[in-house]
Each structure stands twice: as C-alpha cells, then as structure tokens.
Amino acid sequence: MPEIIQIIIATFISGVLGTGAGGLIGGLAKKDSSRTVSLFLSFAGGVMLSIVCFDLVAEALDPSGDGSRLYLLLSILGVLVGYGLVFALNWLIDKRTNNELEHIDENHPSTADDLGELIHSDHYTHHRELNDSRREMFVAGIIMACAIALHNLPEGIVIGVSYTGGSSTGYRAGVIMAVIIGLHNIPEGMAVCVPLISGGMKRKHAVLVTALSGAPTIIGALIGFGLGGLGDVVRCISLSFAAGAMLYVVFGELIPEAILMWRSKLPAFAILVGIIVGLIVIYV
C-alpha cells in the first residue's frame, strides 16, 4: 500500500474516528460525567507533553545527528511561531464573535471562565435561546467547529513528519503518533460533545460536528509528510512548529478544560500519569 494512503487512513482513524468516538461516548454519557472527562483530558494533556518534550523537540534539535547549534535556534523559533499562530487564531475568533454575548464586556475576565465559552459552544446556546434563524445557527456551529479543529492541524503535521524518518523507523514512529493522538482525541471529543448537547443540539448532530472537527488532522498529516521530506532544516522547523502549536493546545485548551470541568487536585495527578505513559510509549 502506498505510504500516502497509509497516512490518510491512519490520520482519518486518529482524527475523525478518535474525536468522533469521544463525541459518541460523550453523547451517550450521563450529564454528571464531567469528573471522568476532566481526568481523561488531564491524562491526554500529560501524554501530549511527553510527545512534545521527549520526542518532537528532541528530534527537532538534532534531525541530522551532527549536533549543529543551528537547529537549536530554529527549534526555538519554530516553537514560538507554532504557539503564537494557534494563540492568534483563537484570539481572532474570540474577537470576532464575543460581541454576540451580552455577558462578555469590559468586566469579563480576559480568558474563558467556563467550558462552553472555551470551546465556543456558548454562541450556539445563545442563538438557540433567541430562536434565531437556521443560517445564524449554522454560522455559530461553523465558528465553533473551526475553534475546535484549530489544534488538529498541527497534530496531523506531527503524524506526517513522523512518517518521514526512514522506511521502517518512520512507519513505526508515524503509527505510534497516530495511536497516541487518536487516544488523546477521545476525551477531547467527549469534552466537546457534552456542552453541545446541553446547549440543545441533537445528539447525532453534536457527534457529527465533533467528528468532523478531527478532519484537519488529515490535511496536517499530508502537509507534514511533504515538508518532512524536504531536508533536515525543514524537518526541524516542521517538528518544532508542531510542538509549539501542541503546547498551546495542552496549556491553553486541554488543561483549562479539565480544570473548568472539575476543580480538584486529581487532574494534576492524571497529567503526571499521562507524562509517564507517554514516556513508556515513546521509548519502549
């Protein structure tokens, strides 16, 4: 089977089916499942931190094995750009849409203070409560799906670049990344689907929106595979960019989501467990 087809299949399973499975679980779960989802999200955040720190950045720092200091500078730059870009896109969505909600004014905290606001499901709820037109509801859903999907692109880049590490090594690394990211997408899909249903969206529609938000993983993987084959410098930049974007996902989305769902010390323990599991998966 051609490598490009393998990548598409792997990222479809990891992105669309992984996120969709989480949405399905969230749609069937009871409304009091917030604590469970919080722990899953924290665990996923820990696994992602392991991937970023012990795999992506480590590979970006020395993709050719010659220890050149150039890669250190490029890695730092790539991490900053990746983090900054995802942050800027989220900020832009907030800036364009927050004026719809009356409670978000000059007295509102500068960051999201509830889960629905963090994933933009509060906009859908607002339009539904006002009995707005189907068009407005559709636009609100698109905005929300875009906000959810933002981080799936760099995750796909990670999988795609991993496949360029040589024939057998690259295949193994790519599969491992696809599995880890797919597992991390399950609790995230749960976190996305539950507030959508609570806001009034039909279960099947909520699961569909959640699953489709994982589709950018496929696009990212194709981009990463193309860039990873262009040489060590481009590979270094691609890996560090993806690492920076995923750091924003962990610290700007996963962990805040987990804390907003359950204010407890246990999510911090789940993060630690996730880091340890990530280390085992990467190095064993």
What's the confidence (pLDDT) of residue 266? 92
What's the confidence (pLDDT) of residue 181? 83
What's the confidence (pLDDT) of residue 168? 47
Nearest to 197 by CA among 186, 188, 206: 206
Q: Where are the beta strands (DSSP E) in 132-273?
A: none
Q: What angle do CA 264, 201, 12 make, to 5 degrees?
A: 80
Report d(CA 198, CA 192) in Å as an integer: 11
What's the confidence (pLDDT) of residue 79? 95
Report d(CA 207, CA 280) in Å as an integer: 32
The tokens describing 9, both together, are 């299949």
Residue 137 makes CB contacts below 8 A (sequence gap 6+) with 124, 127, 128
What's the confidence (pLDDT) of residue 167? 45
pLDDT tens for 127-165 read 777 777 767 767 766 776 777 677 788 888 888 887 876
Query: Does the predicted TM-score (pTM) go above 0.75?
Result: yes
Low-confidence ranges of the chain (pLDDT < 50): 167-168
Residue 215 amino acid letter? A
Report d(CA 151, CA 216) in Å as an integer: 9
Report d(CA 15, CA 179) in Å as an integer: 10
Contact assessment for residue 42 and residue 260, using Cβ atoms and an 8 Å cutoff: no
Write the DSSP assignment of 64-110 as a string of letters.
Answer: SSS--THHHHHHHHHHHHHHHHHHHHHHHHHHHHGGG-TT-STTS-S
Considering Cα of 174, then 180, then 182, then 184, what sign does the dihedral take? negative
Q: What are phi and psi of 103, to 5 degrees?
A: -75, -15
Domain spans, the chain = 3-283
What's the confidence (pLDDT) of residue 203? 86
